[in-house]
Chains A and B, each alone.
Chain A
Amino acid sequence: MNPAHPPASAASHSSDGPIRDGSVVGSNTAGGNTAGGYAVGGYNFAYLNEQTKRMIRRALLKAVAIPGYQTPFASREMPMPFGWGTGGIQVTASVIGPADVLKVIDQGSDDTTNAVSIRNFFVKVAGVATTESTAAATLIQTRHRIPETPLRAGQIMVYQVPIPEPLRWLAPRETESRRLHAMGDYGVMYVKLYEDITRHGRIATTYDYPVMVAGRYLAAPSPVPKFDNPKMHQSPALQLFGAGREKRIYAIPPYTDVRSLDFDDYPFHVQQWSHSCALCGSANSYLDEIILDNEGRRMFVCSDTDFCLRNRHPVAVDQ
């Protein structure tokens, strides 16, 4: 009757004490075993009932077995509207275990409304430990960014995906999109990139940049900036993508080839800034532009707040 046992959460559920490795806050306060699993705060552990989790896990297994393929699942109503990350939350709820340490980011930041809400949600319904540290987390739910700190084997990335279908705006019908996937017929996506270059002189798509997963399925990593695309390639972490409204799950297993589409004469490249982070000085992280006043003064800072903080205070953060 174990709840999720993703590779990372090797701990048995007897270890319900908090995991204290510096950055981790909170603890698993799960009570005793109830019929379906742990009950926390009046809810079943991690909010979803065990049948639902099992259904989602089956979809996840299929998704992992067919990298990049969009697996349908019976998306549930969640206590928040679609578009707020219900897909990612259901995936997280299905794989999270009491021993997991959860990090939630939105636009690279741990303290935006969405990130805070989701983190609090899981503290409430699963009682898991949470963290802002990429390294300390076993499970990271994200909306846009992949952390700058390299992921490691055993970690799970959960992406909240609004529109999982890369061909959504290119093929007239969903049946047609599925047929194109089945045939590996992705010329139409190249037409889109062709049009980009024709209009803008370069491939102007900067987020939701299409990738080929394991050389077979075309996937759109949704709002992830193309800056982060290379991080998906051969990542040691398991990457799971959940789209609640669209009822689709797809996955990139660890160490999978993920290639961003491009042309021979217009190769894929990530955006670069002429600035360094105004706070930590990093020259190779993804920067957000912050308008400071009505005179148009602005600064560029790391979008990954944890990474930025660690650059500034290499030791202090974890204390």
Chain B
Amino acid sequence: MSEPLALPLAHDDAPFLRVHQLSVWYGRQVGCDSVCLDLSPGEVLAIVGESGSGKSTLLRCIAGLQRPTSGNVWFHHEGVELDLHALPEPARVRLVRSHLSFVAQNPRDGLRMRISAGGNLGEPLLANGARHYGQVRSAAMRWMERVELDPLRIDEPPMHYSGGMQQRLQIARSLVNQPRLVCMDEPTGGLDVSVQAKLLDLLRRLVDDLQLSVILVTHDLGVARLLAERMIVMQQGRVIEAGLTDQVLDDPRHPYTQLLASSILS
């Protein structure tokens, strides 16, 4: 990439994640096709598209949860470029466990519903070697406050929580290890509109305060506009448009993007 100018700026940070020509085929069915993207520290990238466009498949490959048919996910780690899917499994698991996290659309997929909120929040810490009960517990309480959950409910299992609370708990769980990249798959899907607004606001502030790098899969363009500075639009496994979120939404060029943008209710 030839940059005509050097900006003395935060976002000028070199990308730490590069997805190169990533393809997933389910037999003859395309999951995603030759996708390229990159992400710098502190950036929020939205992936939008209708169901079946391959956005979740792409996200799962980036998060290390699924193996691509071909292509690479390069992760800049301690001065070295690592190809996530070429790493031996133990190394990949270690990398994923300590630097990536995943927020599922359904909190049931990302939480242990019968284990206390504290246990859910503590698990990533315990998996990374924390061995002090008191410290794990106080960290869990801090994170509950951070996502506006009552720390007094730390010993309740998430099955006693409302849907919005469960999702906030899952988001907190994805952040306790201070990952370099958070992958979110429709984090506000399936929630009431008012709950959704609250969650969006929370996410927006977390992203700002913690300088999170986030890849956000959503079919809700309003969510993308609110949270993401950049977006890519996918259709049938391919990236058909990419760029600044507001430019893609306000000046869409691809017919499909125009259709999407004109379908926003506002």
Seen from chain A, the residues whose Cβ lies within 8 Å of a Cβ on chain B are 182-183, 185-188, 190-191, 194-195, 197-199, 262-266
**A191 contact from B90, B97, B122, B131, Cβ within 8 A:** B122
**B90 contact from A183, A188, A265, Cβ within 8 A:** A183
Seen from chain B, the residues whose Cβ lies within 8 Å of a Cβ on chain A are 89-90, 93-94, 97, 112, 115-116, 118-119, 122-124, 126-128, 131-134, 136-137, 155
**Which residue of A is nearest B114, CB measured?**
A195
Q: Which residues of B have CB within 8 Å of A198?
A: 116, 118-119, 137, 155
Least Cβ distance of A313 to chain B in Å? Answer: 46
Q: 6 nearest interchain CB pairs?
A: A187-B127, A190-B126, A263-B133, A187-B126, A264-B132, A191-B119
- Chain B binding surface, main DSSP class: helix
With A263-B131, A263-B132, A265-B132: A187-B119 Cβ-Cβ less than 8 Å: no
Q: Which residues of B have CB within 8 Å of A183?
A: 89-90, 93-94
**Which residue of A is nearest B130, CB measured?**
A190
- Chain A binding surface, main DSSP class: helix
Q: Which residues of A have CB within 8 Å of B128?
A: 187
Contact indicator B133/A265 (Cβ below 8 Å)? yes
Contact indicator B126/A191 (Cβ below 8 Å)? yes
Q: How far is the CA of A198 from the CA of B153 in the complex (A)?
A: 12
Q: How far is the CA of A183 from the CA of B90 in the complex (A)?
A: 6
Contact indicator B133/A185 (Cβ below 8 Å)? no
Contact indicator A194/B127 (Cβ below 8 Å)? no
With a 10 A CB-CB cut-off, give which of B119, B132, B134 has the most chain A CB atoms.
B119
- What are 13 A-to-B residue pairs whose CB atoms are below 8 Å? A183-B89, A183-B93, A185-B127, A186-B127, A187-B124, A187-B128, A188-B127, A191-B119, A194-B133, A194-B136, A194-B137, A195-B115, A265-B133
Least Cβ distance of B158 to chain A in Å? Answer: 13
Q: How far is the CA of A191 from the CA of B125 in the complex (A)?
A: 10
Q: How far is the CA of A187 from the CA of B124 in the complex (A)?
A: 7
With a 10 A CB-CB cut-off, give which of A198, A199, A264 has the most chain B CB atoms.
A198
Q: How far is the CA of A185 from the CA of B119 in the complex (A)?
A: 16
Least Cβ distance of B152 to chain A in Å? Answer: 13
**B118 contact from A185, A186, A188, A194, Cβ within 8 A:** A194
**B115 contact from A191, A264, A265, Cβ within 8 A:** A191
Q: How far is the CA of A187 from the CA of B128 in the complex (A)?
A: 7
Q: Which residues of B have CB within 8 Å of A186?
A: 127
With a 10 A CB-CB cut-off, give which of B112, B127, B133, B134 has the most chain A CB atoms.
B133
**Which residue of A is nearest B90, CB measured?**
A183
Q: How far is the CA of A186 from the CA of B123 in the complex (A)?
A: 10
Least Cβ distance of A124 to chain B in Å? Answer: 47
Q: How far is the CA of A187 from the CA of B105 in the complex (A)?
A: 23
Contact indicator B133/A197 (Cβ below 8 Å)? yes
Least Cβ distance of A287 to chain B in Å? Answer: 29
